[in-house]
Amino acid sequence: MRRLSLVGVVAVVMATAAPLRGQSPDSSARAASDTNPYAHLPHLEFTAQIQPGNPAPNIPRSLFDSLAMPAQVTIMAIVDTTGQIDPRSIRVQSISDPRLEPYVREALAHWRFTPATYLGEPVRSVVGIPFQFRR
């Protein structure tokens, strides 16, 4: 297997923390939820941030050489309060070659984030992570 570096891996927060117990969305947030399913959620003070040194997917050379370039995978996942991705939450949003998925999932199992915060406390948040592979 050959270790590859990624071009432009960025985590984008796509949603916010779950509401605190006892909180309910106000009517304006409920109206906005018709177009944005996350509108009722409170805003985060700080979004989840990728920590440096996370491993790139370890794609076998034979697979890498057979890919149409540039190859891409976009993942949505939940980062928990400890800064790890909940593996059950990983959803592939787009992928140029389905053979890449298991390698991206394996790499994400080792990724660490600084968790999002709300009212100074770490909270779960949804992140979008685009991977791009180039020769």
Q: Is residue 77 a contact partner of residue 126, using CB atoms and an 8 Å limit? A: yes
- 62-72 burial: b if 16+ Cβ within 10 Å, else e: eebeebeeebb
Handedness of CA 56, 58, 59, 61 (dihedral sign): positive
Please report, for residues 4, 13, 35, 89, 102, the alpha-carbon distance to residue 127 in angstroms, rounded to integers and kept in the order given: 22, 4, 19, 10, 19
User: What integer pLDDT is reported at residue 40 of this predicted model?
Assistant: 65
Model pTM?
A: 0.69
Fold assignment, 12-133: TolA/TonB C-terminal domain (3.30.2420)
- C-alpha R_g of the chain: 17
**Rounded Cα–Cα distance for residues 122 and 115 (Å):** 6
For the chain, 135 residues long, the average pLDDT of each consecutive 10-residue run is 42 39 41 54 79 95 93 96 96 97 96 93 94 91
User: What integer pLDDT is reported at residue 18 of this predicted model?
Assistant: 41
User: What integer pLDDT is reported at residue 14 of this predicted model?
Assistant: 41
Q: Which residues contact 115 (CB under 8 A, 6 or more apart)?
A: 48, 79, 80, 81, 82, 83, 122, 123, 124, 125
Backbone φ and ψ for 3, nearest 5 degrees, come out as -80, 130
